[in-house]
Structure 1
Amino acid sequence: MTSESDLLQDLDPFDIFDAEAERLDRFFSSLGEEGWNGPTRCAGWSVRDVLAHLAGEELYNHACLTGDIEGFFRMLEREGIPVDDAYGWVDRFNDWCVRRRRGLPVEQVLREWREKNGETRRRMRELGRDTLIRTAAGPYPAGLQTFHYDSEYATHADDVGAPVSAEEAGFRLEWRVRFGLVALAERKSNAQVERDGDRIRGRVDGLTVELSAADFVEATVGRLPEGHPLDPRVRSALRCLA
């Protein structure tokens, strides 16, 4: 199994989290009304809805930091969100976060996200990468959890079209490839993958594929375009992140 020490030890997840949050903040701060209402890669969500999702999910992030996952689930149940299945509650929670913020001024939602996410980033950095925190899946190292946040923020930045400079692009792709490989190993995916420079070779159910690093990242987060020729079985096996 690919371990964190193999691929991630020389990367600082907290610096990456700061960089991706700052990218989103710069983008959100530049928007007018038309921009907030613009489409994204998230089906049915506008740019404003993606912000609402990011603001709302801080409820979960803070529950992990305080160790009160049970209290978080009780809150969901009070709001009519069933939590009696493994991860089906996640989509229902995300939808609820967006719906309950659609009637609020966007400036208020942006302020909520900045404050709550700023606290999350500060507290995760203070904990350090080896401290265990409570998550819905059980105890988990804060550093690895932060890499999950990094991946989600990078994905949503791409979803809304937040700019990435040429100077940033290479490092950003590199850490996302590495974390994608780690996440696949964590999920015990039936995809057997290996990296060869800027290509990723994989084998799934007897199918052998080769992807660019960029397409591999998009596959891990479920963002390959519909017309991409990758076999659906391989797509499913490679999907391991938000």
Structure 2
Amino acid sequence: MGVTQAAVWDVVHGERAALARDLEGLGADQWSAPTACVGWDVHDVLAHLVDSAKTTRWAFVRDMVAARFDFDRQNALGIARERRADPQETLAELRTVVALTSTPPAPIGTRLVEAFVHGEDIRRAVGLRGDYPVDQVVEALRLQLRTSVKMGGGKERTNGLRLVASDAAVDVGGGPEVRGSALALLLAVSGRPVEPDEITGPGSATLRYRAAS
């Protein structure tokens, strides 16, 4: 069962506000800490979140044309547009977009994926952890399981594996089991590294390898 757009936006707006609060006390060295997004530091991911929050369907198409339909180049353009010289100014910009409901032409659930996965990209890089609503994390996980890697999902990473959440009613796929929290599974399926004890089971090494590839 899916969730309504209103419910998604309530969560996304709450996550943006929570992230802004968490980042208030970061030091200069923390802003430049590398994240799980290859080539992006904490400040880059923040700028990407600001850009994503502002992106409309038309703006996305415009930027994709400018980027010659290269997603990586399109993301780089957005970061360059929104990354300020002072990270505190970029953080202030995040606060101004907390309540926006702009979205590129993609399923509404991608807004949850952005909030949770990029939220953890930032937090884990500086030693923080987020507290996310499990039901909505499950929605994000199910979307990633339906979406190909080339479109930003993780469907291929779970081929031949059975994913079981330890904190939610998730039991999908077939093959060697991978067990972990819905958040840990979401991160691994999305190509993010997780701690050794976050996912377990006979299929966990395979999923770790695919997440790192």
* TM-score after normalising by structure 1: 0.61
Query: Which of residues 160, 172, 177 in structure 2 aligns to 1:209?
Result: 177
1:231 aligns with 2:196: no
- The alpha-carbon deviation at position 21 of structure 1 amounts to 0.6
Rg comparison, structure with higher value: 1
2:43 is aligned with what amino acid?
R
Task: Say if 1:217 and 1:186 are closer, same or farther in 2 by CA, change over 3 A.
Answer: closer
Q: What is the CA distance between 1:161 and its match in structure 2?
A: 1.6
| Correspondence 1:158 to 2:120 | yes
The structural deviation recorded for 1:26 is: 0.7
Match in the other structure for 1:118: 98
Give the one of 76, 83, 89 matched to 1:95. 76
Q: Counterpart in 2 of 1:184?
A: 145
Percentage of identical aligned residues = 23
Query: Cα deviation per residue 1:156-195 (whole Å; 9 max; x = unaligned)?
Result: 2211227447xx45xx344312431244246694748575
Deviation at 1:23, TM superposition (A): 1.7
The letter of the residue matching 1:202 is G
Higher strand share: 1
Aligned to 2:62: 74
**Preserved contact between residue 188 and residue 207 of structure 2 (Cα < 8 Å):** no
Q: Which has the higher contact order (CA 8 A, sep 6+)?
A: 1
- Of the candidates 13, 18, 22, which is equivalent to residue 18 of structure 1? 13
Correspondent of 1:51 among 35, 46, 50? 46
1:52-90 residue CA offsets vs partner (Å, 9 max, x unmatched): 111222342xx23xxx25xx4334544xx112xxxxx22
Segments of structure 2 that go 5 or more residues without pairing to the other structure are: 149-153
Report the RMSD for the aligned CA atoms in angstroms. Answer: 3.7
* C-alpha contact 1:39 1:47 (8 A) present in aligned 2: yes
Q: 2:26 aligns with which of 11, 23, 31?
A: 31
- Structure 1 gap segments, 5+ residues each: 84-88, 125-132, 237-242
Classify 1:196/1:183 alpha carbon distance in 2 versus 1 (closer, same or farther; 3 Å): closer
Q: Which amino acid in the other structure matches residue 176 of structure 1?
A: V
Paired residue secondary structure (1:118): coil
For 1:75 and 1:185, the matched residues in 2 are separated by 25
Corresponding residue SS for 1:210: strand
CA drift of 1:94 comes to 1.2
**Counterpart AA for 2:74:** F
* CA deviations over 1:3-43 (Å, ceiling 9, x no partner): 42xxx46x922221122111210122222322212232222
User: Which letter maps to 1:73?
Assistant: V
> What residue is the counterpart of 2:191 in the other structure?
222
